[in-house]
Structure 1
């Protein structure tokens, strides 16, 4: 599993909402799928309304996201 940092925006009503999130995924396609699923579930955004501007692999120690810290706690 790798840690990814995604930066982009999604349509929220008549405006665009920026986002930056760190997540754990097996590969880049898995990370994109988690992002789409997350914003679809939480905000009701359709996949075509979500734009991922960058998706990069980062070192787990660079992240302060609880899901990343929890996943790599023993490593």
Structure 2
């Protein structure tokens, strides 16, 4: 992981080793689900004041990084 993702932590003792935000029990996946459900960044920050805008940006960056190496094969119908 790069310095650009220094707020994303993975610890087997926290949330079963899922990527979390700064070691808190808030997973990257949870943050992504909030944003995908059409909540704005401001709404997420208001609902979870322990988060910072950079946390959300890094969660999105982590997701982009995580899926960039995956190859998905589709067959034609």
Per residue, is there more helix in 1 or in 2? 2
TM-score (norm. length: structure 1): 0.25
Per residue, is there more strand in 1 or in 2? 1
Q: Larger relative contact order (C-alpha < 8 A, sep ≥ 6)?
A: 1
TM-score (norm. length: structure 2): 0.25
Of the two, which has the highest radius of gyration?
2
